[in-house]
Amino acid sequence: MKKQELIAQIAAEIGIKQGAVENVLDCLGILAQSALANGDEVTLPGIGKLSVKAKSARTGRNPKTGETMEIPAKNVPHFTAAKALKDAVSVPHH
């Protein structure tokens, strides 16, 4: 589902204007980025949790040249699905 489809469905479901839904989604993205940048977690009820995971430095290979290279440590966003989402996805559809 693309952003505009999500906006249209949410707006229709709760009876508000699509512009208001778009503003909320945009704000959610900004707030999630800010929270993660500060090391906080973001819980999205029924969906899951966004957090930051530390990746340690490691040795890798340049796929083009095969040359060994050092990959620096970094923080990456991490998503953990909520049980409700896992359960909804695991139900077979016929």
Model confidence over 17-61: pLDDT tens digits?
Answer: 999 999 999 999 999 999 999 999 999 999 999 999 999 999 999
What band does 92 get if pLDDT is binned at 50, 70 and 90?
confident
Distance in angstroms (rounded) separating the CA atoms of residues 94 and 92? 7
Same-domain check for residues 35 and 76: no
Residues of the chain above pLDDT 70, percent: 98
Same-domain check for residues 13 and 36: yes
Same-domain check for residues 16 and 48: no
Same-domain check for residues 53 and 76: yes
Q: Which domain holds residue 28?
A: 1-40
3-class DSSP state of 46: coil
Q: Is 38 in contact with 50 (CB distance < 8 Å)?
A: no
